[in-house]
């Protein structure tokens, strides 16, 4: 079934989709993995792929079942459940970790990456590894980073053609204080809210809009209720795959090694799916008549972020990470 068909189904009848978790083969032990996105979304498919690799590597001892479509809850709650060991694996944006793990704020800083290639170089290198390692102090094991494209603002009211157009508007952000400050610094108001509440909040006018990448703007159906999308690309925030430390501690060293390897091996697969999905989603949304503002002067957006950098780069360690990221070619 093609991905777009699945997205269409998910938007129309998410209740029906909820019934369908995706079983791995017949592994002796099946790890439960959470994802907010519908079946067919690149992150969901990548973790399924990881499950297949893991089954092969462990000779059928370990497999993965992906509970997509937020069946296990919204991201903030599933993170807590993963810390408690109720959920074994979780594929989440780095955003909802910002208030808990300060290192995750660094790749979540607005305009920190010059491009997706730059993000890949950094996250595949030593800075990325340091961020993965930082999860261990919070009852989690960081396994791999996935792509989340670049995030831009969309709204139900009007085309945003310059930073001034954002004044006084109200946008949903992920549950991260830094993103609240980011929107404030742009002259707008921010409401942190779980992803699953955004569609109806736009529809009922509780908020004017939100911000996200092409595939999420598509699969969530937000483009139906907020048709003005401005490609200001303020965030290139990676997704992360984590394991509960409780689950991890119960695995043998060989199994732990297989989990780490399988996660890493799913990354190139994910990137391929992601690139294809971004294109498909953009085409679908443009064809659906959304108004896309492609040309926008980003300089005032970038300049407006200085207070956010000043507030969140509290220690030499965090400042040094930023310096190393900026120096990465
Ligand atoms: C998506 C991301 C999700 C979730 C969502 C959101 O792009 O893949 O993990 O964070 O955005 O805005 O809540």
Same domain (yes/no): 6, 128: yes
**Distance from C-alpha of 44 to C-alpha of 241, rounded to nearest angstrom:** 11
Same domain (yes/no): 258, 291: no
**Ligand 1 centre from 173 Cα, in Å?**
10
- Residue 289, token pair as written in the block: 């008549």
- Does 215 sit in the ligand 1 pocket, CB within 6 Å? no
Q: In the predicted model, is pLDDT for residue 23 greater than 60?
A: no
- Does 154 sit in the ligand 1 pocket, CB within 6 Å? no
Nearest CA to ligand 1 atom 8: 93
Residue 6, domain CATH: 3.40.190.170
Q: Which among 31, 5, 32 has a CA at the least distance from the CA of 17?
A: 5
The answer to whether the Cα torsion of 221, 224, 225, 229 is positive or negative is positive
Same domain (yes/no): 54, 103: yes
The answer to whether the Cα torsion of 238, 19, 3, 47 is positive or negative is positive
As for how many domains the chain has, the answer is 2
Same domain (yes/no): 75, 10: yes
Same domain (yes/no): 142, 260: yes
Same domain (yes/no): 221, 246: no
Mean pLDDT of 27-38: 98
- Does 216 sit in the ligand 1 pocket, CB within 6 Å? yes
Question: Probe ligand 1: pick from 68, 202, 216, max atoms within 8 Å of CB?
Answer: 216
List b or e across 138-165, with b for residues whose CB sees 16 or more CB atoms inside 10 angstroms.
bbbbbbbbbbbbbbbbbbbeeebeebeb
- Does 147 sit in the ligand 1 pocket, CB within 6 Å? no
Atom of ligand 1 nearest to the CA of 91: 9
- Does 98 sit in the ligand 1 pocket, CB within 6 Å? no
Mean pLDDT of 301-314: 98
Same domain (yes/no): 188, 203: yes
Residue 25's pLDDT band, with cuts at 50, 70 and 90, is low
**Ligand 1 centre from 216 Cα, in Å?**
7
Same domain (yes/no): 9, 73: yes
253: CB partners within 8 A, 6+ apart:
none
For residue 14, what are the domain limits? 2-147+238-275
Same domain (yes/no): 79, 202: no
Same domain (yes/no): 167, 262: no
36: CB partners within 8 A, 6+ apart:
69, 70, 74, 75, 92, 195, 196
- Say what the pLDDT of residue 204 is: 98
Mean pLDDT of 214-227: 98
């Amino acid at each position: 079934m093609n991905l777009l068909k699945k997205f269409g189904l998910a938007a129309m009848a998410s209740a029906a989709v909820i019934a369908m978790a995706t079983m791995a083969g017949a592994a002796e032990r099946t790890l439960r993995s959470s994802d907010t996105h519908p079946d067919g979304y690149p992150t969901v498919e990548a973790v399924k792929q990881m499950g297949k690799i893991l089954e092969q590597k462990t000779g059928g001892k370990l497999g993965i079942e992906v509970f997509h479509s937020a069946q296990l809850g919204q991201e903030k709650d599933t993170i807590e459940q993963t810390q408690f060991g109720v959920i074994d694996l979780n594929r989440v944006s780095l955003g909802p970790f910002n208030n808990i793990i300060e290192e995750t704020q660094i790749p979540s800083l607005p305009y920190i990456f010059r491009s997706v290639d730059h993000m890949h170089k950094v996250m595949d290198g030593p800075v990325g590894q340091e961020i993965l390692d930082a999860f261990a102090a919070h009852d989690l094991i960081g396994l791999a980073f996935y792509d989340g494209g670049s995030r831009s603002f969309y709204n139900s009211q009007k085309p945003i053609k310059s930073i001034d157009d954002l004044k006084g508007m109200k946008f949903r952000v992920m549950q991260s204080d830094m993103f609240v400050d980011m929107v404030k610094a742009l002259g707008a108001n921010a409401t942190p809210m779980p992803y699953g509440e955004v569609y109806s909040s736009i529809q009922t006018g509780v908020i004017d809009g939100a911000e996200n990448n092409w595939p999420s703007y598509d699969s969530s159906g937000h483009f139906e209720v907020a048709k003005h999308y401005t490609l200001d690309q303020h965030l290139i925030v990676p997704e992360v795959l984590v394991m509960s430390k409780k689950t991890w501690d119960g695995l043998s060293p060989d199994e732990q090694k297989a989990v780490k390897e399988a996660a890493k091996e799913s990354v190139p697969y994910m990137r391929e799916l992601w690139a294809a999905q971004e294109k498909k989603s953009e085409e679908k949304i443009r064809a659906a008549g959304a108004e896309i503002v492609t040309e926008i002067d980003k300089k005032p957006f970038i300049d407006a972020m200085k207070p956010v950098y000043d507030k969140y780069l509290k220690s030499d360690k965090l400042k040094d990470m930023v310096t190393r990221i900026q120096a990465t070619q």
